Structure 1
Amino acid sequence: MPDNSAPVRPFPLILAVAIVGGLALGAVDLVAQRELPYPWANLANSSAVWAVGAFAIGAWVRAGRWQPALAGTVLLVIAVESYYLAATLVQNDDIANLWSPTSFIWMAFGILAGVVFGTFGAWARSASLWRSVIGLAAIGAVFLSEAAVLLRRSPDGGEEYRADSLATAAVTAAIGIALILAAAQSWKIRFCALAAAVPLAALGFAGFTLAGFGSRLPAEQIIPF
């Protein structure tokens, strides 16, 4: 439950920020994939990085029983469509991708991730110790679990692919730990969140595997998050 002692932001403002944030996330993701060198370009195609968007807006909203989850969901769903629209404008992809089955699948994932990480973002700013710990642990854990997925994939490709996956895994894990250290309000919360991130990362790895992220994807199947 988010911290209801915090000031409640006006719903029109929450919705506007979520829409603008989603438009920016999708477009920046597409451009970053095209322009950044590897392994940094891989982060643009990272589920964990997209989860940070929902987490951040949930932390900003903070108050209310459902507002953080809704804000995270709107942001990620809009981001999926913004990604495909940017792909149409920048690299002449088919505009029908906006309403393709793949787009709807990723929007469904966006709803799930938006609810989960929007709520965890609000928890991270809660006055409750355990909510703050779990909220921060969750955002660190999603990076650690994605790093584990990359490590599992690395033997499946050639030498270049293996080196790229290992480098991305190292960067991803470092970001997860850094987020916990930077966002925690005290050292007690930092230590507790780091400890809690380990079992949560194991759960996240299982979830990624069940969702089909554990195997290597051909280049043409790389999609928003």
Structure 2
Amino acid sequence: MPEESRTPRPLPLILAVAVAGGVALGAVDLIAQRELPYPWANLANSSAVWAVGAFAVGAWVRAGRWRPAAAGVVLLVVAVEAYYLAATLIQHDDLANLWAPTSLVWMAFGVLAGTVFGTFGAWSRSDTRWRALAGLAALGAVFFAEAGMLLRRLPGTEAQYRADDLATAAIMVVIGLVLIALLGRSWRHRAAASALAVPLAAVGFAGFAMAGYGG
């Protein structure tokens, strides 16, 4: 069925799913950081893992010019607030963290990342070949870019944390490759997406660096 003829999902349903997804992402992120052993706990607070949430809801929304991006934004912004609310309920952090400058900065990043990866998620399911390729490649690329940032900061990392960061970087590369393999439509599509993910990862790496991610 051509993209243009697909009936868009109802906006109330999109908002409900995005809000529910954001609440789940924020709460699970906090719990996973507390409960998982390292290096797996590092993944809970990974920007790439959060980007998957926006990507997934965008892929689910699929149709519409702005709805996938909007769904990604809502999911990530709600996830930030859900994270801080969960921190208040579980570990008795200050409730004022919900509106603190740090949370506002993370919500601003959520608007940017939600727009980008919500759109890429929709593109990954597109009937247009170049959009489908770019969408899948971007999903792998965000993991490769964050792995690169972890490797970049290794020289300045305390010795007891270097092994965890190195292991986390390796896990992220594997996740990126596995996602491309699982979501690719053919071996040609997977190979092309893997190749395109490399320059996209370089762009993402530069973006992380400019944003000050990874120190």
Q: Does the TM-score normalized on the shorter chain lie above 0.5?
A: yes
Higher mean C-alpha displacement, 3-12 vs 107-116: 3-12
Give runs of aligned pairs for residues 56-67 of structure 1, distance below 5 A: 56-67=56-67
Give runs of aligned pairs for residues 184-195 of structure 1, distance below 5 A: 184-195=184-195
Give, in whole Å, the separation in 2 of the partners of 1:17 and 1:72: 10
Q: Which amino acid aligns with 2:137?
A: A
Instruction: Say whether the 8 Å CA contact 1:3–1:125 is kept in structure 2.
Output: no
Instruction: Say whether the 8 Å CA contact 1:6–1:62 is kept in structure 2.
Output: no
The CA deviation at 1:99 is 0.4
**What is the percentage of aligned positions where both structures have the same residue?**
70
- TM-score relative to the length of structure 2: 0.97
Give, in whole Å, the separation in 1 of the partners of 2:156 and 2:44: 22
- The reply to whether residue 212 of structure 1 matches residue 215 of structure 2 is no
Equivalent in the alignment of 2:141? 141
Give, in whole Å, the separation in 1 of the partners of 2:79 and 2:124: 23
Partner of 1:185: helix, strand, or coil?
coil
Give, in whole Å, the separation in 2 of the partners of 1:181 and 1:6: 26
Give, in whole Å, the separation in 2 of the partners of 1:53 and 1:6: 23
Instruction: Say whether the 8 Å CA contact 1:120–1:135 is kept in structure 2.
Output: yes
Equivalent in the alignment of 1:150? 150
Give runs of aligned pairs for residues 60-75 of structure 1, distance below 5 A: 60-75=60-75
Structure 1, unmatched stretches of 5+, are 216-225
Equivalent in the alignment of 2:165? 165
Give, in whole Å, the separation in 2 of the partners of 1:207 and 1:5: 36
Equivalent in the alignment of 2:94? 94
Cα deviations by residue, 1:128-159 (Å, 9 ceiling, x for unpaired)? 11100000000100000000000011121232
Give, in whole Å, the separation in 2 of the partners of 1:178 and 1:94: 39
The CA deviation at 1:60 is 0.3
Give, in whole Å, the separation in 2 of the partners of 1:186 and 1:89: 46
Give, in whole Å, the separation in 2 of the partners of 1:56 and 1:103: 23
Q: Which segments of structure 1 move beyond 6 Å, counting only runs of 4 or more? A: none
- TM-score relative to the length of structure 1: 0.93
Higher relative contact order (CA 8 A, sep 6+): 1
Give, in whole Å, the separation in 2 of the partners of 1:40 and 1:6: 39
Q: Which amino acid aligns with 1:37?
A: P
- Number of paired residues? 214
Partner of 1:4: helix, strand, or coil?
helix
Give runs of aligned pairs for residues 36-75 of structure 1, distance below 5 A: 36-75=36-75
Q: Which amino acid aligns with 2:54?
A: A
Q: Which amino acid aligns with 2:61?
A: V
Partner of 2:9: helix, strand, or coil?
coil
Give, in whole Å, the separation in 2 of the partners of 1:187 and 1:9: 31
Q: Which amino acid aligns with 2:168?
A: T
Give, in whole Å, the separation in 2 of the partners of 1:117 and 1:21: 15
Q: Which amino acid aligns with 2:129?
A: L
